[in-house]
Structure 1
Amino acid sequence: YKSPAYETLGFNLTKERLVHKGYPEEILEFEYDPSFPVRGLWFDTLYGNLLKVDAYGNILVCVHGFEFLKHSQVYELYPNKFLTLDESRVYVLNTLFNLPETYLIACLIDYFTNSPQYTRTNYGVRCGDLAMSFKSIFQDVRNAVDYVHIHGDLKSKTIENLDLYLKKDDRLPMFLSRIKDSGAKIFILTNSEYNFTDKIMTYLFDFPYGAKPGEPHRNWKTYFDWIVVDAKKPLFFGEGTTLRQVDTKTGALKMGHHVGPLHEELVYSG
């Protein structure tokens, strides 16, 4: 995907979803700043802080909204400037798809913390009888992000503007072909459904030639040994999922579940 255009799209759609769920319309004025979020930050849902930590959990940087906390402030919240990676408290924003989410969390924490309508508490904010914990704000953002990716307009708007959101490289067919020629196996594993995946991949391989100039054009599926959509990562890797074959003409799943080895140029739903 092209950055920051794609992150901006996700950011704006998530804002709209939050307003639809009751958040103040003022948040629609937030504008995505690609210079702020980085991959791998932790969000402490208890105190509402974004944390940059080292491999051992030592806190290197602590940000509340857009306020960078001083060392003395960090020590008050985190003795020894250390935090254990507890999944019930900490969420790791470790993918490129988390970048707009990271920035939106910072925007919301900053907005509610500094708004004269809200009073800050240790673990959130209050406005009269309304109490919002930092954890509930985070969960609202998470739910909105999931909705935008699964049920919202993110995919349809991406398909409508492929040139705007996707980076196309005419070296891709040759690159994948050389990997296969070396004896390696290539697979694609995506959480997206088949129809969306097919449109994206068809666009990325839309060249008048195949692996080399002069060779005939090939369908994108021929470049992969195995193709799995609807993968439900990370569940796919942790517990495993039931595989079903996809009818590539209709996008529908075929009856029964797949057993035995996977076959080339077929598409499976996991």
Structure 2
Amino acid sequence: MSSEQVNRVAFELFGLPIYWYAIIMVSSIALAMYLSSREAVRVGMKADDVFDFMLIGLPLSFIGARIYYVVFNLQPYLADPIQIFNFRAGGIAIYGGLIAGGAWLFYYCYTHLINVWTFLDIAAPSVILAQAIGRWGNFMNHEAHGGPTTLAFLERLHLPKFIIENMYIDGHYFQPTFLYESLWNLMGFIILVLLRKKTHLLKQGEVFLLYLIWYSFGRFFIEGMRTDSLYLFGPIRVSQALSFVLFVGAIGLLIYRRKQQLPFYDRSKGQNEWIV
């Protein structure tokens, strides 16, 4: 292993190691909450709507991410069920978190009389930015990488030395798929923000649907390069199957809603009624 490889432990607190992964994830979530709260005010909602949602939505998302991972990687946990609760050993899946958080969002909007599509629209760019940042937690953990490659290939990508060094794991260099997805998500964030600023361009809900289309498209191909995928059956990777379903479903819903008499996404005046 390279002597310059990044240490996954940031520091110790009372003898307990604090990992870079946790710091990066918490920071990305905090930034997403801040940006979403600012956008909420612009569309006529309250910043507290975001914070109140996250109070329960955040722990539910972590639980959902853990359940998703355990369900599709069940064998090790059947042998030692107590490890299901050992979060520090790793094992969460972003799709599980998005599913659990999305389910809570629908319930929260219904009970607080908030337009669910407006909430999804304000959250989508912040979520994909948090995903872009969060992938660097995988980098610090030396995980979520692709198959073996060569030093020459990585150098041809003109990557910083610290990334190349950290891709040297157990005697081999690996594809930095964490970086591919991080950059893809960052591009998605920029595109969504730019489109969202255009007056009378996107209808209500289309910021969110474009997020689903962009993220699922990139994730489908990047997931195919990874060596740590969860499998549905045979060679079918869970995240690829779900990405395909979300991509097709989001396009279909986008086309359907585009034909409806729906309001445009308006950053100057919010509509807080709940719409079925």
Instruction: Flag whether TM exceeds 0.5 (same fold).
Output: no
Bigger RCO (CA 8 Å, 6+ sep): 2
Q: Which structure dedicates a bigger proportion of its chain to strand? A: 1
TM-score of the two chains, using structure 2 as the length reference: 0.32
Q: Which structure dedicates a bigger proportion of its chain to helix? A: 2
